[in-house]
Chains A and B, each alone.
Chain A
């Protein structure tokens, strides 16, 4: 291995390493406690030797609970000056039969995470969102499973998210879907119509109603719509109906919103109107917050979980971070109240080691102990308040540590990635030329000593909060190993840059080349705006067409280039209507929607067959394949069509089949193509096209052919007009347009999970992951392979891939900086983090392919 290719591999390796370093710093993985609270373990039987009897102290206060979740019920709809918007409820407030608390929901203010938080009492981090992508079922400890374990019968009507979260938990249930946002009335009537029946039944003790109408009104006409007071009065009637049936002595009706509503009517962010929700309890013996007491007026949405558990006398969920709402326990016997507060605070206290030194909790336990021995000290309220206060304090520390970024590690990642970028730019010698010098060893040793010193000093000054400093929460070997690797990377990078330190600036190239260079800079900088991340596909479509236009103006043979490049632009224009993606124009009509209508199935069939034939023809005429390989390709495409017929996508008769055999045949012929390989790059391209067309949705089959045609039109001009580095860059852009044209986007919901399970009968995490990345990144990788093939055809020895690596590296480095500086941005979890994951996955996958296919 010569030094050139050593440098190349080192850059790729370093790139992957920096991505891992940065992501570890940015997304700390929380160790989730999977234990389920039970009657034996979660109740303390003594306080420092003083015996307690949980069975007497922790009893159910209610026999029945009705939880009404009103989607997007913002706090100021029913609290404060708008109290009269629900007349019956405000009467109850005045008679002291109901009390409301203003509570804060956590971000993201979207229904599913909020329901989870409401029931588990915990705050899911972003890493959880990723790990939960596959399994919607909630297996963390939560109030509903505690109810179920204590033989409470539950009924549910409303948003069907709950049924996915808790399958088979409800005795009777009906879900409504929230897809039709324009439906304001029926979606709620479908819930309310069951009410009369359920109110006559006596077997259930927990009823949950989830109303979606208010959210729909908000999305369509905003929070100031005249429909909203009407809807609130409808909700008021529901409460009245339930209240008249049950006396409030042993029944509580809890009304809460899952999230608020912003002033434009949507939700998902973290503005005040989106996070503030009401928690209303219709029950006897509750006490609202006194206005003067500021300590307890900041409640959280998750406080509902322990409160419900205490009211129903079931154990508090093990991951709960909410603290008991004291106003609700106003009428409790003193010892019950104290014990409940103690159990709640102790549960939070045990969750994290950092809570061990919490003085308030220790003092509260001490006072509780005193109270138990003396039994009448008159300080009960003070002790209870102290417990709740310490619980809130400990939980806020825990919640903060969930979103705590490892800033040191992130900055280290940025610096290394910046060094690698400099090395790449120097190595590809495109704008900057350089000559190499010999390494100076004393310099290297000096740098490494300096780095070690700096590392130790930083660790001491930031209190060992980072993953690479030795502290309690990461094993010491792990810390030392990681620090050592990072310092090695630093030193090698320093040396590589030092070797090339005699730099001269070269002149820029022709106009398309200048545009490629500045366009890639412009694109990378545009990722700092959340809308440009959401609409990134528009940037690529626009840039690629501009590139083609500039190349027309610079080409020598005008007529021919005008025809082929205008053809290219036209095909890009057609392909961009294939799958709408992004956020702003996602609802525009597209070809995908049209082809997938049941009435248009014949067209889907025809288009897929044409697509398969076109792909076969393109492979035949553009790649150097043997006869056996061509036959295998043909068999594979036929098996592909058969596989789709087996799933009923096509309007032709096909015998009953699970599709496994067809996919198996396709995979086998894929292997046959690989085994009978003559020319490596052609074989790779053929295999890749055939594999990804198997994984894609049927409507994208013809799109693959369109992509190949686009490539045939533009590639001679790329070769003729551009320097190899810029040709790389142009291929990368074209690959990215293909990526977006296939319907991918920067939203985690755009991943087509079905493509990971093609031809698999059992779940295998590696197989699914591999197939999923193949299907998702099929466009950029295809462009990469085509570029390798093109370079092998045209220049045998002068082979370079730095354009791809440069663009990946530049985007990653800049995006690291953007994410670090915007880490408290409103959209960091909804826009920037998914984008970071996509980019990281793409970089790692493409590095793998570059190493394999080179």
Chain B
């Protein structure tokens, strides 16, 4: 009885709820994209309204989650502020990495909103308090989920220069798909990870520094 309760508690920790939500969301985004492929829009699933609504949905989710499960709940204004600031940061970053600045700026904005939306649940479930996390030491609070979302987006960009001339090679389609896939996969791995490995040390095991030891050689 005792052990059952503790197990159930660990199974439904905030992190795991966030992961389940992420997996669900990413699957539904991919499903939505797949359904919309046929109607001739030329692959532009990630339009401004779509990404904006995903951001709103995730903000609502984080708020509801913290309202019911956190000891000190996150205020809605701080969530909104967080969404705005991370969107701006990702916008700047994607422009720096070569996204169009003047020509298709609406696509860049919708991509940066999508990315900040994807990152929001895991940050909100882990961090608890978003107020302090906005200094520029961005990698400090970035866990496996956030990193793999960014890495997926990074990998997705490699498809763009290929000369296949497909409709889905247009910015930000492959990058956004990469981010969604990266987010969904890492959440899924985090969920089923304890079942595969005996060591259930939470997200720490996906932390890359475990593989690359910081050691200076002579």
* Residues in chain A within 8 A of chain B (CB atoms): 506-511, 514, 526, 529-532, 534-535, 538, 541-542, 545-546, 549, 552-553, 558-559, 562, 566, 569-570, 572-573, 576, 582-584, 723
Question: Is B163 a contact partner of A534 (Cβ separation < 8 A)?
Answer: yes
Structural contact, A508 and B136, CB atoms closer than 8 A: no
In whole angstroms, what is the CA distance A529 to B164 when docked? 12
Partner of A545, one of B97, B139, B163, B212: B97
Partner of A584, one of B163, B212, B215: B163
- CB contacts under 8 Å to A, within B102-143, are 135-139
On whether the beta carbons of A583 and B212 are closer than 8 Å, the reply is no
Q: Which residues of B have CB within 8 Å of A583?
A: 163
Is there an interface contact between B96 and A509, defined as CB atoms closer than 8 Å? no
Measured CB to CB, the closest approach of chain A to B8, in angstroms, equals: 37
Check A508/B96 contact, CB under 8 A, given A538-B161, A546-B154. Answer: no
The answer to the question of B217 belonging to the interface, with a C-beta cut-off of 8 Å to chain A, is yes
- Within 8 Å CB of B97, what residues of A? 542, 545-546
Contact count A vs B, C-beta below 8 Å: 61
Question: Is B208's CB under 8 angstroms from A506's CB?
Answer: no
A795 to chain B, nearest CB (A): 13
Task: Render B43-72 as a binary contact track against A, CB cut-off 8 A, 1 for contact.
Answer: 000000000000000000000000000000
Residues of A within 8 A of B135 (CB): 558
| Chain B 176-218 interface 0/1 with A at a Cβ cutoff of 8 Å (1 = within) | 0000000000000000000000000000000011001111110
Choose from A507, A526, A566, A569 the contact partner of B217 (Cβ within 8 Å): A507
Number of residues in B with C-beta < 8 Å to the partner?
25
**Are A529 and B162 touching (Cβ within 8 A)?**
yes
Interfacial chain B residues near A566, Cβ < 8 Å = 96
Whether A558 contacts B137 in the complex (CB less than 8 A), given A542-B97, A573-B96, comes out as yes
* Residue of B whose beta carbon sits closest to that of A554: B139
CB-based nearest A residue for B164: A531
Cα distance A535–B157 in the bound complex, in angstroms: 13
Residues of A near B98 (CB, < 8 A) are 538, 541-542, 545, 573, 576
Interface of A is mostly: helix
Residues of A within 8 A of B217 (CB): 506-507, 509, 723
Q: In this assembly, does B29 line the interface, its C-beta being within 8 Å of a C-beta of chain A?
A: no
Evaluate contact between B136 and A562: CB separation under 8 angstroms. yes
With A541-B98, A549-B93 given, is the CB distance from A511 to B208 under 8 Å? yes
In the bound complex, residues from chain A placing their C-beta under 8 Å from that of B157 are 542
Q: How far is the CB of B139 from chain A (nearest CB, A)?
A: 4
* Interface pairs (25), CB distance under 8 Å: A507-B213, A507-B215, A511-B212, A529-B162, A530-B163, A531-B162, A531-B163, A532-B161, A538-B160, A541-B98, A542-B97, A542-B157, A545-B98, A546-B97, A546-B154, A553-B138, A558-B137, A562-B136, A566-B96, A572-B96, A573-B95, A573-B98, A582-B161, A584-B161, A584-B163
Q: Which 4 A-B pairs have the closest CB atoms?
A: A535-B161, A553-B139, A531-B163, A569-B96
A558 touches B212 (CB 8 A): no
Q: Encode B84-108 as 1/0 by CB contact (under 8 A) with A.
A: 0000000001011110000000000
CB pair B212 A508 closer than 8 Å: yes
On chain A, the residues within 8 Å of B95 by CB distance are: 573
Least Cβ distance of B207 to chain A in Å?
12
Which residues of the other chain, A, contact B139 by a CB distance below 8 angstroms?
A: 553
Residues of B within 8 A of A723 (CB): 216-217
The answer to whether residues A545 and B208 also contact, given A507-B215, A531-B162, A562-B136 and a CB cut-off of 8 A, is no
